[in-house]
A and B are shown apart, each in its own frame.
Chain A
Amino acid sequence: MRRTMLFMPGSKPGNLLNGDVYGADSIIIDLEDAVALAEKDSARILTKHAMRTFHYDCELIIRINSLTTPFWQADLDAVIPEKPDVIMPTKIYTADDIRTIDAYITEIEKAHGMEAGGVKLLPLLETAASIEHAFEIATASPRMVGLYLGAMDLALDMKATRTHEGYDIAYARSRLVIAARAAGIDALDTPYTWDIHDNDGLAEETRMVKNMGFNGKACIYPGQVEVVNDIFSPTKERYEWALAIVKGAEEAEAQGKGVVAVNGELVDGPVIIIARNTVAEYEKINGVHRS
């Protein structure tokens, strides 16, 4: 579950210390854009020690510098032995980029006696080429767990102008969701960067991308986490609706019936699947254990 992925600079000890207290499903420690060129080394060392020292109560993702820089291998050398959950490669163009990173991670895993393939990949698609190659990228490695849209760099590469309504990235969003879904992995949306305190604007955009099929959205400010989590979480009412359908389906199955009726209405297959997903999601978020 990745409703929210909260960014924090790898160069800020205070942020690293408290990264997991805001309720985000994942935190992304950033070694790329949030870290000045002169601080790349120190951020890498700090991140490595933070990973050794702190026990984050959520998924840990490390965003590394791109293949076009001299830093990406050093980033991986430093963090892979500390066993992050996920690596987020940046400025990906093609599936070959993923394979290059995958191979390098495998070398490090072998060198440190780690299980091969344990560290997953969730690349940032922020070039026009990567959008065009989205499905190939999504299926380039068994490590792949999702695709994440990077709107700012993508708009730059497209020579587009970022718009609040998201017209500029509408196609990219759609393409990324389809590719991720076709590959059976997560689709994660770009953060809301217009005004970090504008929770109404954030909520509106989050509802839109949820309706498009995204699993979650990155956050660049702790105050955004709760808003996004709420929208990507089933409500109690929705859970109760779904639970009634799931129970109806279970009863029908037990009785050998092919048709499921809940509250007098027939329910078909896709709705049952949605209901099962909703029940599972709600119970995971809220720690509900049904007997």
Chain B
Amino acid sequence: MKGKLVASIEEAIRLCGLKDGMTVSFHHHLRDGDQVLPMVMAKIEELGFHDITVSASSIHGSHGCLADMIKSKVVTGIDTNFIHKCVGTTISEGYLETPAIFRTHGNRPHALATGEAHIDIAFIAASAADCQGNMNGVDGPSAFGPMGYAFADAQFADKVVVITDYLVDYPLTPISIDERYVDYVVKVDSIGDTSGIASGITTISKDPIGLKIAKTAVQVFENSGYFEDGFVYQTGGGRTSLATTKFLKEAMDRRGVHGACILGGINGLFIDLLEQGYFNKIVDTQCFDLKAVESLKNDVRHQEIACGHYADMCAKSCVAAHLTTVMLGATEIDTEFNVNIHTDSNGLIMGGSGGHTDIAYGAKLTVIVTPLLRQRRAAVLDRVGTKSTMGDTIDVLVTQRGIAVNPKHQGLRERLLDAGLPVKDIHELRKMARDLTGEPKPVAFTDKVVAKVYGYDGKLNDVIYQSKG
């Protein structure tokens, strides 16, 4: 058996033949606790490489080192689904040599499969691995759950390096990604801090506005005509989206409706729904807390899937295409129902689609939950700063001051009105918001494109310009 275990990240980099101009990839399952991307990139910088493109499924708060590497031209390209503001601000300021590429969670594996995107070397953090590179995310001291985002990297990268802090005897079981794809294995002291995988939202919100919006959103689902046995459910990771689980349970009790499946991003709130018998299964690409990790490890009803299986809308089929409803947040939404989750009110990059755009397209009923105002800014606008998710995939907007239904769904609008829900025209909600906040001074940009935003279908949704500051 040919040995794949190498002594260090540096040796793996050398053996993989990294050169200036290449693309290296990472997954984000350890989220804010990830130490693998910083560790590998620090070594790449130390070895004197330049002009590297980082293809990361998401860039989180633990990846702030990339900001300096962008300024020093070690990193000149970014291909990702989400960028935390600690790096996003640097990109918005125009430091990145080439425009950052934003894909969706579902379109990233598709682009890798078709060759539209390419990875030279994938560095894959695994919480457990054996010497041949069989790996999973559920064993070991740094267990983070499913390895959904890493499947495509393993499958399509030219070279694959597994980095683990828990090396076990061959063969590891269970296996998420197997040895056929792996070139080298590196044992390190730690791949990260698993407390950082928690999104911080693992209990039901007590914010009265958020609760009111969440309750109304569930009433929308309940009266939409889609609320029946066998439904498939997903929420975003925001506080209000997650709070819908509380009211969903009550509605399921009231109407005696039973769910087939929860799709996620999963945390303990969803595990409770599974364990209490509200749903039959959980299908999962990433865990947001350790309770979910434990569930994936121990409950056969909780299934890990690859990201492409989750949400590649160009595949023959995917789980997201079976969604009945999704409850999603928005930084901004406009009167054409376009949603921005990429840029803040100053036009600076601070997020990304993740799976938002995919599941909005896939679900039969896509509900956006957002307060009418965020701080002193209107969340309902004439035009969003960035079109992350296109308005034709959004069905309903729920705010604390009313519901707006996309005009393409007159039947749904009538059903919600018949149920006594406070349905309004979205322009009316826009006016309410504007009356409260006034019209802010427009944000100033240069002509330089700093990022391109692609949709679930790989088509360009929008571009982001350099901030004038």
Contacts and interface: CB of A to CB of B under 8 A. Distances in A.
B211 A18 contact: no
A21 B401 contact: yes
B208 interface: yes
Contacts, number: 20
B269 interface: no
Interface residues on B, range: under 10
Interface string A218-231: 00011100000000
Interface string A44-57: 00000000011000
B101 interface: no
Contacts of A222: 208, 211-212
Interface string A10-22: 0000000110011
B432 to A, nearest CB: 10
A53 B400 CA distance: 18
B209 interface: yes
Interface string B280-294: 000000000000000
A18 B432 CA distance: 12
A21 B212 CA distance: 9
Contacts of B5: none
Nearest to A21: B400
Given A17-B436, A21-B401, A221 B208 contact: yes
Nearest to A20: B401
Contacts of A21: 209, 212, 400-401
Interface string B416-436: 000000000000000000001
Contact of A223 (B211, B373, B436): B211
A22 B213 CA distance: 10
Interface residues of A, number: 10
Contacts of B209: 18, 21
Contacts of A197: 206
A278 B315 CA distance: 59
Interface string A188-223: 000000000100000000000000000000000111
Interface in A2-56: 17-18, 21-22, 53-54
A5 to B, nearest CB: 16
B404 to A, nearest CB: 16
A222 B212 CA distance: 9
A221 B212 CA distance: 13
Contacts of A18: 208-209, 400
B399 to A, nearest CB: 9
A197 B212 CA distance: 15
A7 B209 CA distance: 15
B373 A22 contact: no
A102 to B, nearest CB: 34
Interface in A100-116: none
Interface in B193-249: 206, 208-209, 211-212
Nearest to A57: B401
B376 to A, nearest CB: 9
B253 to A, nearest CB: 15
B218 to A, nearest CB: 14
A18 B208 CA distance: 10
Nearest to B432: A55
A197 B205 CA distance: 12
B244 to A, nearest CB: 16
A123 B436 CA distance: 32
Contacts of A54: 436
A31 to B, nearest CB: 21
Contact of B373 (A17, A53, A221): A17
Contacts of A223: 208, 211
A165 B286 CA distance: 49
A18 B209 CA distance: 8
Nearest to A225: B208
Contacts of A17: 373, 436
Nearest to A55: B435
A22 B401 CA distance: 9
B436 to A, nearest CB: 7
B436 A22 contact: no
A65 B446 CA distance: 54
A230 B208 CA distance: 18
A222 B208 CA distance: 6
Contacts of B401: 21
Interface string B281-315: 00000000000000000000000000000000000
A42 B212 CA distance: 29
Interface in A52-81: 53-54
Interface in B128-144: none
B21 to A, nearest CB: 51
A190 B323 CA distance: 47
Contacts of B373: 17
A173 B411 CA distance: 50
Nearest first, the 3 A-B pairs at minimum CB distance are A222-B208, A21-B400, A18-B209
12 contacts: A17-B436, A18-B208, A21-B400, A22-B208, A22-B212, A53-B436, A54-B436, A197-B206, A221-B208, A222-B208, A222-B211, A223-B208
Given A18-B208, A18-B400, 9 more contacts: A17-B436, A21-B209, A21-B212, A21-B400, A22-B208, A197-B206, A222-B208, A222-B211, A223-B211
Interface of B: 206, 208-209, 211-212, 373, 400-401, 436
